[in-house]
């Protein structure tokens, strides 16, 4: 990698400070078995040259990905508690979450359907018995309020009662009575307070009277929802502090009709999610995604459907999102309550179109043509957008770069580590090695392909993670994710973006139950690095001893961060020769660790794995890293050669020699740094 700062050829003093850390060097990561005596620490020594910096780390490597898959959005981010609230499946069908009351037959009628293909109609009888439908398995908490709405119509006279049930008898429910006297659908708000805590709550909709009543749709959310989002999940997502979110897929996008997800939410048609053999309510569409991003103060990154979709639809989607309100799709957005354009910058064309698992996948020759059609149509609507193309190292990425370089800004790469290894150090290295391989391939493309001359097309690793089927992520996965981030940081000149897949539930960094949310171990790593790791990488060399270390200046160059991944079952004491900076000895240390590499967190329970933070002092010669840990040090510095060069305008110029002299004035307790150059007579800085 390249370094921005000039070398100093003659220095009148040598600054040597021993801290502690270990860096990754070379291609191998030796597995270190736990010795019999685990109380003593091993030692290692390396050198950090704080004056040799590489390109700043792109903030976008800390991106996230959310997809309409499993309980990532519905059941994770979106606060709706009811399954199939628009009755895509017939009440009582095997896949339906709705059941009729005992001995009730509910008919699904297509005539006058409120939303979708059919609506449930309940026949009432003159004997006074109640008839209706119910949905169970709701998570309720005692004292918590729940709000919603129900859309009803009736032929005849119907007295409908909607009840939230948490226990047996009258004391175990709260009911709302509604007189329904019109054949036109009307909406009634719902509000309940649960009198108990249960995972087996129930919503009942029953009626008495004459004739029939129809249930157009119904919704129920915790009252503390934030514009439809779960408050507990949003709280953690704000702590996660990701700068960008990719949506809506993923495999999902190749069968997604974005127009189904706009307009009045209760009238959006439910559809089958073909990619995942699931049901899509379309409650969370483009407008909700933009709202989600604004609530989190993050940037949206929208993928368009290049599977079953076409370039015209993609261009219309760009116009809906970014077009002025006097354009056809801009008017439609304005009619939906959003007059001003969203100005979304980042757009992806398709997802994994090289794979036979992808809806509408095709061979490379045909897809390059399709990609270019999409890019032209989308840029015609908004020339300012940035496009990310589908990539996959090998013939596919090379072919895309040869034929489509003019029609992309960056190219995506995906990987999932699906193998479980007996050796912990080997397991932790999987993410790092995947990234290293993709980086090496793209560096080679840059050397060989004429289509890349004069272009800076970088890698967007917009899906990456460990994926081998766990419900939870373990400490060992957290170690691997941290090591993956280290490899991206080392290659900051070519890795532009990375989107951890996924964010909530499934293989997410956050896990939820019906009533609680918690950081998984991998989420703690992402949160830690996003919030505390530096921005400008510096050079680290030396013996690794099986550890993985990176270091970087903070953006203001007032502190140096050192991150260490220790995948061994032995603690280390690390001696470091630090050049180009002098630490004050004070700082902060954050540690993620546990004695069990299989430790994980569960929502609603005290976390087993946490981020521990402590203030440190007198740290001048060594750092310690516990076994099975991620340690991130923030070390305050008195001065740095890099900062001084910046002040004197020396960065990236042709100065061939530099002389640094330090004088201490005890009375003033100041240090004067006096420079003399061949091209500059005197430059004095008072620190």
What's the mean pLDDT when you consider all of the chain? 88
Quote the distance between the C-alpha of residue 592 and its chain's center.
Answer: 20
Q: Distance (Å, rounded) from C-alpha 368 to C-alpha 404? A: 6
Domain, as residue range, for 208: 99-222
Residue 25 half-sphere exposure, CB side, CA atoms within 13 Å? 15
The tens digit of pLDDT for each residue in 14-58 reads: 222 222 333 333 333 333 233 334 557 888 888 899 999 999 999
| CATH assignment at residue 420 | 3.20.20.80
Q: Which of 497, 512, 531 is the last residue of a domain?
A: 531
User: What CATH number should be reported for the domain holding residue 621?
Assistant: 2.60.40.1180
- Residue that has been written with the tokens 């990456």 in this structure: 464
Query: Can you give the pLDDT at residue 239?
Result: 98
Kindly state whether residue 276 falls inside one of the protein's structural domains: yes
- Domain total of the chain: 3
Residues 161-193 have pLDDT tens digits of 999 999 999 999 999 999 999 999 999 999 999
Look up 426 and say whether it is catalytic: no
Instruction: Give how far the C-alpha of residue 64 lies from the chain's centroid of Cα atoms, to the nearest Å.
Output: 2
Given 173, 195, 222, the domain boundary residue is 222
Q: Is there a single domain that holds both residue 296 and residue 187?
A: no
Average pLDDT (374-396) is 98
333 and 422 together in one domain: yes
Q: Which helix H or strand E contains 151, and what residues bound it? A: strand 145-165
Could you tell me which residues come within 8 angstroms of residue 137 by beta carbon, excluding any fewer than 6 positions away?
Answer: 97, 199, 200, 201
Alpha-carbon gap, residue 84 to 265, rounded angstroms: 14
Same domain, 441 and 568: no
Rounded-to-integer distance, Cα 248 and Cα 336, Å: 20
Residue 49 · residue 486 · CB < 8 Å:
no
How do strand 244-247 and strand 119-123 relate by DSSP bridges? unpaired
Residues 423 and 473 in one domain: yes
How many other C-beta atoms can be found within 10 angstroms of the C-beta atom of residue 651? 14
User: Is the domain of 270 the same as that of 396?
Assistant: yes
Pick the catalytic residue: 280, 319, 463, 487? 463
Distance CA 522, CA 601 (A): 10
Last residue of a domain, one of 531, 549, 569: 531
How does residue 639 score in pLDDT terms, banded at 50, 70 and 90? low
In-domain check, residue 677: no
Statement to judge: residues 217 and 253 lie in one domain: no
Q: 665 pLDDT exceeds 90?
A: no
CA distance 289 to 25: 42
Q: What does the alpha-carbon distance between residue 53 and residue 60 come to, in Å, rounded to a whole number?
A: 19
Question: Active-site residue among 80, 83, 288, 352?
Answer: 352
Closest CA to 636 of 585, 687, 671: 585
What is the DSSP track for 507-527? T-SEEE-SS-EEE-HHHHHHH
Domain membership flag for residue 26: yes
Preceding omega of 502 cis (within 30 degrees of 0): yes
d(CA 564, CA 631): 5
Report which listed range, 3-17, 66-80, 468-482, is most confident: 66-80
685 belongs to a structural domain = no
CATH number of the domain within which 127 lies: 2.60.120.260
166 and 39 belong to one structural domain: no
Same domain assignment for residues 213 and 117? yes
Residue 85 lies in a domain: no
Does 680 reside within a domain? no
| In a shared domain, residues 135 and 170 | yes
Are residue 589 and residue 462 in the same domain, yes or no? Answer: no
For residue range 314-361, what is the model confidence (pLDDT) as tens digits?
Answer: 999 999 999 999 999 999 999 999 999 999 999 999 999 999 999 999
> What's the helix, strand, coil split of the chain in %, to 5?
25, 35, 45
Please check whether residue 108 is in contact with residue 91, taking contact to mean a CB–CB distance below 8 angstroms: yes
Give, in degrees to the nearest 5, the angle at Cα 585 between 580 and 591.
100
**Both 268 and 394 in a single domain?**
yes
The question of whether 55 is a catalytic residue gets the answer no
Other CB atoms closer than 10 Å to residue 341's CB: what's the count? 18
Question: Within a domain: residue 676?
Answer: no
Written as six digits, the tokens of 669 are 């307790």
Both tokens of 585, joined, read 């000895």
Rounded to two decimals, the pTM is: 0.89
């Amino acid at each position: 990698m390249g370094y921005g700062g000039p070398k100093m050829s003659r220095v009148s003093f040598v600054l040597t400070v021993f801290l502690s850390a270990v860096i990754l060097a070379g291609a191998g990561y030796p597995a270190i078995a736990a010795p019999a005596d685990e109380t003593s620490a091993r030692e290692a020594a390396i050198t950090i040259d704080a004056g040799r910096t590489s390109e700043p780390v792109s903030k976008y490597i800390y991106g996230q990905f959310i997809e309409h898959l499993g309980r990532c959005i519905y059941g994770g981010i979106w606060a709706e508690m009811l399954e199939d609230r628009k009755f895509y499946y017939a009440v009582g069908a095997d896949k339906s979450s709705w059941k009729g009351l005992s001995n009730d037959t509910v008919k699904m009628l297509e005539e006058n359907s409120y939303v979708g293909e059919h609506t449930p109609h309940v026949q009432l009888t003159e004997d006074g018995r109640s008839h209706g439908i119910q949905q169970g398995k709701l998570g309720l908490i005692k004292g918590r309020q729940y709000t919603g709405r129900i859309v009803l119509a009736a032929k005849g006279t119907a007295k409908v009662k909607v009840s939230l049930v948490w226990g047996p008898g009258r004391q175990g429910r709260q009911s709302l009575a509604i007189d329904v006297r019109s054949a036109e659908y009307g909406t009634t708000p719902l509000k309940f307070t649960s009198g108990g805590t249960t995972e087996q709550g129930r919503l009942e909709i029953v009626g008495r009277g004459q004739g029939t009543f129809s249930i157009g749709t119904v919704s129920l959310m915790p009252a503390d929802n934030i514009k439809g989002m779960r408050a507990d999940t949003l709280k953690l997502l704000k702590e996660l502090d990701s700068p960008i979110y990719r949506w809506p897929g993923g495999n999902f996008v190749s069968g997604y009709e974005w127009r189904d997800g706009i307009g009045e939410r209760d009238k959006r048609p439910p559809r089958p999610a073909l990619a995942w053999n699931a049901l899509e309510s379309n409650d969370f569409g483009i407008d909700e995604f933009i709202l989600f991003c604004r609530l989190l103060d993050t940037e949206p990154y929208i993928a368009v459907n290049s599977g079953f979709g076409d370039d015209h639809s993609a261009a219309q989607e760009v116009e809906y999102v970014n077009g002025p309100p006097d354009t056809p799709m801009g008017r439609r957005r304005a009619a939906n309550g959003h007059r001003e354009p969203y100005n979304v910058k980042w757009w992806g064309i398709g997802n994994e179109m090289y794979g036979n698992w992808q809806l509408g996948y095709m061979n490379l020759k045909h897809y390059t043509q399709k990609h270019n059609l999409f890019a032209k149509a989308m840029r015609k609507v908004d020339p300012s957008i940035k496009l990310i193309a589908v990539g996959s190292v090998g013939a596919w990425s090379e072919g895309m770069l040869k034929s489509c370089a003019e029609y992309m800004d960056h190219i995506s790469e995906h990987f999932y580590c699906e193998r479980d290894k007996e050796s912990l150090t080997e397991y932790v290295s999987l993410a790092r090695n995947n990234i290293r391989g993709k980086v090496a391939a793209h560096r080679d493309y840059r050397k060989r392909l004429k289509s890349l001359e004069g272009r800076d097309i970088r890698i967007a690793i917009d899906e990456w993670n460990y994926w081998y089927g766990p419900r939870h992520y373990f400490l060992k996965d957290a170690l691997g994710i941290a090591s993956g981030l280290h490899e991206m940081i080392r290659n900051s000149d070519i890795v532009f973006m990375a989107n951890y897949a996924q964010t909530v539930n499934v293989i997410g960094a956050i896990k939820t139950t019906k009533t609680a949310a918690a950081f998984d171990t991998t989420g703690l790593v992402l949160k830690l690095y996003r919030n505390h790791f530096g921005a400008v990488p510096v050079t680290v060399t030396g013996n690794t001893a099986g550890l993985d270390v990176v270091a970087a200046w903070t953006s203001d160059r007032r502190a140096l961060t050192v991150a260490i991944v220790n995948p061994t079952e032995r603690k280390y004491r690390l001696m470091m020769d630090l050049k180009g900076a002098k630490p004050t000895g004070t700082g902060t240390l954050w540690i993620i660790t546990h004695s069990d590499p299989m430790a994980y967190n569960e929502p609603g329970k005290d976390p087993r794995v946490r981020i521990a933070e402590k203030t440190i002092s007198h740290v001048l010669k060594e750092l310690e890293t516990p076994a099975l840990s991620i340690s991130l040090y923030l070390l305050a510095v008195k001065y740095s050669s890099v900062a001084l060069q910046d002040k004197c305008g020396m960065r990236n110029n042709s100065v061939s020699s530099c002389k640094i002299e330090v004088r201490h004035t005890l009375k003033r307790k100041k240090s004067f740094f006096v420079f003399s150059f061949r091209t500059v007579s005197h430059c004095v800085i008072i620190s």
